[in-house]
């Protein structure tokens, strides 16, 4: 079972691609980096559980219902009677850009702490997934991420780290660097390699990460695909995307599919191939998880990934 620690929020986005200041109606979704990852992992065949906090409000109930509908176990989600569930709004601008407005200050998940990390570990995970985004939510979440990664490593539980660096949030690069020796799977974007490792050329990124103690690296390059581990050095896979409606959530879908595949014994090349297919589906649909392949299609993709030779 993969256990992810983080925040999920209710997302509102205007219907028909209108900007927020002009729209008359909006669609409602549930999203969050770790929940997105877990949803993809579950669709790829792994058991997945979400460790978080939500408010005792309709939005908190909606988060739990959406996670459960995606097959993600919500038994590790605590309800905070004194803090609200976070919400955010996605704005489609006339230039085609997507801008996101967060209302998460003082949210239930911003109060995550070491007790939540201990609850995640008590579930007996086969792998834990942590994120720099969660660590940046405040002092408590930062401590929770550090405790979960360190304690999991001490117990021999693989740790997956997605830096998820966000310019608008407090810097956490120092913590992520400290966690690299405990990281089994590092899934980072090309734009995060420089701040985290000091280099951005793929071969140097892989070398620098391994020198820091990372077990396995995947470099996500957006429209340019990804770079995965190969005996002869980093190997590039092109993106599988055909249509891009909304790029948000693609990296999480890639990461979840990749980790599920690796847990199932699929080689890095096949796992990366699977990740590109999941990401391609997500970018072709609005919302962060709406484009995940249907269960039967996902099973066929996993079987195909397993047949890919290294």
Instruction: Report the alpha-carbon distance of residue 31 to residue 27 in Å, rounded.
Output: 13
Give how far Cα 235 sits from Cα of 129, 206, 218, 259, 270, Å.
Answer: 24, 11, 10, 18, 12
**For residue 15, what pLDDT is reported?**
76
**For residue 95, what pLDDT is reported?**
61
The enclosing domain of 295 has a CATH number of 3.40.1190.20
Token representation of residue 37 = 């990852």
Beta strand spans in the chain (E): 2-5, 9-14, 26-31, 48-55, 73-80, 87-92, 98-103, 127-131, 159-162, 185-189, 216-220, 226-228, 235-237
Instruction: Report the alpha-carbon distance of residue 289 to residue 278 in Å, rounded.
Output: 10
Instruction: Report the alpha-carbon distance of residue 207 to residue 1 in Å, rounded.
Output: 30
**For residue 32, what pLDDT is reported?**
92
The active-site residue, picked from 73, 80, 252, 288, is: 252
CA dihedral of 106, 107, 109, 110, whole degrees rounded to 10: -20
**For residue 96, what pLDDT is reported?**
59
Cα–chain center distance at 12 = 19
Local structure of 217: helix, strand or coil = strand
**For residue 90, what pLDDT is reported?**
83
> What total number of domains does the chain contain?
1
- Summarize pLDDT for 275-307 with one digit per residue, the tens: 999 998 887 677 778 889 999 999 999 999 999
**For residue 158, what pLDDT is reported?**
98
**For residue 310, what pLDDT is reported?**
64
Helix axes 190-197 and 202-211, enclosed angle (nearest 10): 40
Write out residues in the chain with pLDDT < 70, as ranges: 92-97, 240, 242, 244-245, 247, 284, 310
**For residue 71, what pLDDT is reported?**
97
Structural domain range at position 243: 2-307
**For residue 27, what pLDDT is reported?**
86
DSSP 102-149: EE-TT-GGGG--HHHHHHHHHT--SEEEEEHHHHTT-HHHHHHHHHHH
Local structure of 1: helix, strand or coil = coil
73 is an active site residue: no
């Amino acid at each position: 079972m993969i256990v992810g620690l983080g925040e999920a929020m209710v997302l509102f986005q205007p219907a028909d691609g209108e900007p927020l200041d002009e729209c008359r109606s909006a669609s409602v979704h549930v999203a969050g980096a770790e929940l997105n990852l877990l949803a993809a992992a579950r669709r790829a065949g792994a058991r997945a559980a979400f460790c978080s906090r939500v408010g005792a409000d309709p939005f908190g109930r909606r988060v739990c219902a959406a996670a459960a509908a995606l097959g993600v176990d919500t038994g590790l989600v605590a309800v905070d009677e004194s803090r609200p569930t976070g919400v955010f709004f996605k704005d489609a601008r006339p230039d085609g850009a997507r801008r996101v407005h967060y209302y998460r200050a003082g949210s239930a998940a911003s109060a995550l702490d070491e007790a939540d990390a201990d609850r995640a570990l008590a579930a007996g995970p086969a792998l834990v997934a942590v994120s720099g985004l969660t660590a940046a939510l405040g002092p408590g979440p930062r401590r929770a991420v550090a405790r979960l990664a360190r304690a999991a490593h001490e117990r021999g539980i693989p740790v997956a780290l997605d830096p998820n660096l966000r310019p608008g949030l407090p810097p956490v690069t120092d913590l992520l660097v400290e966690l690299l020796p405990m990281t089994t799977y590092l899934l980072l974007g090309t734009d995060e390699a420089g701040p985290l490792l000091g280099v951005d050329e793929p071969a140097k990124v892989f070398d620098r990460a391994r020198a820091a103690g990372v077990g396995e690296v995947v470099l996500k390059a957006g429209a340019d695909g990804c770079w995965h581990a190969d005996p002869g050095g980093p190997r590039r896979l092109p993106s599988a995307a055909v249509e891009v409606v909304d790029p948000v959530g693609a990296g999480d879908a890639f990461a979840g599919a990749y980790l599920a595949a690796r847990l199932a014994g699929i080689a890095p090349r096949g796992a990366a191939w699977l990740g590109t297919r999941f990401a391609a589906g997500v970018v072709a649909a609005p919302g962060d998880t709406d484009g995940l392949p249907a269960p039967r299609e996902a099973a066929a993709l996993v079987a195909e990934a397993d047949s890919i030779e290294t």
